DNA sequence: AATACCGTCAGGCTTTTCCCCGGACAGTCA
DNA sequence: TGACTGTCCGGGGAAAAGCCTGACGGTATT
């Protein structure tokens, strides 16, 4: 039987080594490549495709989510497992929406990691109890995690995102208006729309949202 | 010769395994224990003290920085190396102030990790080029990273911290005034003082500062 | 063709914040 | 005791933001 071919993508050497050390010794799994960035990944993908891609969600340049989205269409045969520091439901749902077949926290155990790889390879999806809990809870509260969720950045238009970014960088409405060559009224409109869409109350909430959703660096 | 005794503290198994796999095989270094939380660490410290403590800066319950501060006095013989996801200068300086003898990013190489351990054990401090760059740059800009630094929360009075917290929670000046039973003018004063002390320009900066320094949850 | 949404803009008004001044009082420390 | 700092408060004016309403052309979607 062929081994399960895995490519590892994480910009932290320590994490990559951790996974490697956990997998080494398993006879049915083989790491055929590893990368610390999207560019590296693209290179090694040319040398041979894996069955499973283990992707750090918070990759430096191009995020794991973005990569997953691109590969979902480009390589439909490859299953993607997301690796994340956090059990944030935002991350989980974004991963699902991007087509990931599994979501593992970085404090996972060897047992869980191997189970996840084998499960995904068999064509199923794998979520630890903790992750499924979060998914279930959100179903209960929120109906459907697929369509843009309440308070998710996907509800915002391109322009609104621009305005939000500038604002969260500390620019005044007038400065934003000047920078975008629009009237200050328009800026106000956009901000209002954002607040309504996201159900936020104060400018401070806007800033927090922008940080949470990585519009700006903290 | 005795081996260098190391205890590993990180709440991500993968990272711990990564470090372990890097160290295994080195004859002069021995991992005598590992922990995923401060409580666990306290337990294994009772069974024997290490020479070096490798500490994740972003530990779940008690942060690595806090632990370093506590141990600096409690176990002056133990050298602490901080491990961090980010090259943020805030993290670096907080680590130094807490008495850490080294600062390593999680994407460090095996070579650097081993060099760091051995250097610290020999009594020196270890910083990669990248880290020293940041430290140097800050010296140039900022004079002295030891006494309460420019933009450090230690410069704020109790009252100012209260005001900042309320503000970063999204309260208006008036609301803050009501809550603290002071005049809105006083609130404005406090805010002004904070901005001056921290050298911040906009209210948005205030919010970011509050988040960075954990006055509020994101 | 109708509907819905996006992006743009405006008037007019209120509220809030910002800025630059000033001062009072209490506690601490040299 | 004198100097300093923290905390408190105010005036007055300028700037910014917020709120509500209404509007118009463009572009998808259906």
Alpha-carbon distance of A174 to A196, in angstroms, equals 21
3-state SS record for chain A:
CCCEEEEEECCCHHHHHHHHHHHCCCCCEEEEEEECCHHHHHHHHHCCCCCEEEEECCCCCCCHHHHHHHHHHHCCCCEEEEEECCCCHHHHHHHHHCCCCEEEECCCCHHHHHHHHHHHHCCCCEECHHHHHHHHHHHHHHCCCCCCCCCCHHHCCHHHHHHHHHHHCCCCHHHHHHHHCCCHHHHHHHHHHHHHHHCCCCHHHHHHHHHHCCCCCC
What pLDDT, on the 0 to 100 scale, is given for residue A137? Answer: 53
Number of residues that this document lists for chain B: 218
- Asked whether residue A180, judged by its CB, lies under 7 Å from any atom of the DNA or RNA strand C, the reply is yes
Instruction: Find the Å distance, CA of residue B210 to C1' of nucleotide D11.
Output: 31
% of chain A at pLDDT higher than 90? 11
Pick from A21, A73, A22, A68: nearest CA to A41: A68
- Asked whether residue A185, judged by its CB, lies under 7 Å from any atom of the DNA or RNA strand C, the reply is yes
Number of H helices, E strands in chain B: 10, 6
Three-class DSSP category at B9 = strand
- Asked whether residue B200, judged by its CB, lies under 7 Å from any atom of the DNA or RNA strand C, the reply is no
Alpha-carbon distance of B63 to B65, in angstroms, equals 5
Are A208 and B211 an interchain contact pair (Cβ–Cβ within 8 Å)? yes
Task: Calculate how close chain B gets to A212, using CA atoms only, in Å.
Answer: 7
Q: Which residues in chain B are contacts of A13 at CB distance < 8 A? A: 18, 106-110
Choose from B14, B57, B207 for mutation: most chain A CBs within 10 A: B14
Which residue is closest to B213 within chain A, CA to CA?
A218
Is residue A161 within 8 Å of A153, Cβ to Cβ?
A: yes
Nucleotides of chain C touched by protein CB (<7 A): 5-11, 16-23
Alpha-carbon distance of A212 to B218, in angstroms, equals 7
pLDDT above 50 (res B106): yes
pLDDT above 80 (res B140): no
3-state SS record for B69-133:
HHHHHHCCCCEEEEEECCCCHHHHHHHHHCCCCEEEECCCCHHHHHHHHHHHHCCCCEECHHHHH
Are B14 and A170 an interchain contact pair (Cβ–Cβ within 8 Å)? no
Task: Calculate how close chain A gets to B199, using CA atoms only, in Å.
Answer: 14
Tokens of B217: 């949850």
Three-class DSSP category at B21 = helix
Q: What is the pLDDT along chain A (218 residues), one digit of tens a residue?
A: 688 999 999 988 888 888 888 888 888 999 999 998 888 999 999 998 999 999 988 777 677 888 888 887 788 888 888 888 777 766 777 777 777 888 888 878 787 888 888 878 877 677 776 676 665 555 444 433 343 444 555 567 788 888 888 888 888 888 888 888 888 888 888 888 888 887 788 888 888 888 887 788 77
Is residue A77 within 8 Å of A96, Cβ to Cβ?
A: no
pTM of the model: 0.51
Is residue A157 within 8 Å of B193, Cβ to Cβ?
A: no
Per-residue pLDDT of B18-70, as tens digits, reads 888 888 888 899 999 999 888 899 999 999 899 999 998 887 767 788 888 88
Pick from B113, B93, B123: nearest CA to B31: B113
Of A15, A167, A169, the CB nearest to B15: A15
Task: Calculate how close chain A gets to B83, using CA atoms only, in Å.
Answer: 11
Three-class DSSP category at B205 = helix
């Amino acid at each position: 039987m062929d081994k399960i071919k895995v490519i590892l993508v994480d910009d932290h050497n320590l994490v990559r080594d951790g996974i490697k050390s956990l997998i080494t010794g398993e006879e049915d799994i083989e790491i055929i490549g590893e990368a610390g960035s999207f560019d590296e990944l693209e290179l090694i993908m040319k040398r041979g495709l894996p069955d499973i891609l283990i992707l750090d969600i918070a990759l430096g340049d191009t995020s794991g989510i973005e990569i997953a989205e691109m590969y979902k269409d480009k390589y439909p045969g490859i299953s993607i497992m997301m690796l994340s520091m956090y059990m944030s439901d935002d991350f989980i749902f974004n991963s699902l929406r991007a087509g990931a077949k599994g979501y593992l926290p970085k404090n996972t155990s060897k047992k869980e990691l191997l189970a996840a790889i084998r499960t995904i390879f068999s064509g199923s999806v794998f979520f630890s109890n903790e992750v499924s809990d979060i998914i279930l809870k959100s179903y209960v509260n929120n109906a459907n995690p697929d369509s843009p969720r309440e308070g998710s950045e996907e509800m915002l238009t391109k322009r609104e995102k621009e305005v939000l970014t500038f604002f969260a960088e500390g620019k005044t409405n007038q400065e934003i208006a000047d920078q975008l060559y629009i009237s200050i009224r328009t800026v106000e409109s956009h901000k209002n729309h954002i607040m309504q869409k996201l159900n936020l109350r104060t400018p401070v909430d806007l800033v927090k949202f922008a940080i949470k959703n990585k519009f700006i660096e903290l």
